[in-house]
Amino acid sequence: MKKETIDRIRKFTEDRDWDQFHSPANLAKSLVIEAAELLECFQWDEEKYDIDHIREELADVIVYSQNLLDKLGLDVDEIVNAKMELNENKYPVEKAKGSAAKYDQL
């Protein structure tokens, strides 16, 4: 995300004095709630989906992810790179290629 988009997310919370509600636990709950609303776009039919609805629900997930990064003072590149390193080790290309099996069943 661009710096100005992230700033817009932060200003939205600040202007409304909502930081008081943004405990890490409340933001984690919010993330699940929004992710489930995104899943609802695929509840009964996985092929015919409403892309405009998906755009809104995915944006909600991304906004709450940013809120949680901010709340905990985390750097997105740092945590994602650390996790990708774990993933790369758990799923070596030669074993995982073309397989959807979990790492402990490869």
Rounded least distance, CB 91 to its own copies, Å: 6
| Secondary structure letter of residue 98 according to DSSP | T
Check residue 16 for interaction with its own copies (CB under 8 A).
Answer: yes
For helices 51-72 and 3-15, the axis angle rounded to 10 degrees is 80
- Would you give the binding string for its own copies spanning residues 68-87, x where CB under 8 A is met? xx--x-x-xx-xxxxxx-xx
Could you give the CA distance from residue 59 to residue 64 in angstroms, rounded to a whole number?
Answer: 9
Asked if 13 and 30 touch (Cβ cutoff 8 Å), the reply is no
Rounded least distance, CB 48 to its own copies, Å: 10
Check residue 97 for interaction with its own copies (CB under 8 A).
Answer: yes
Rounded least distance, CB 83 to its own copies, Å: 4
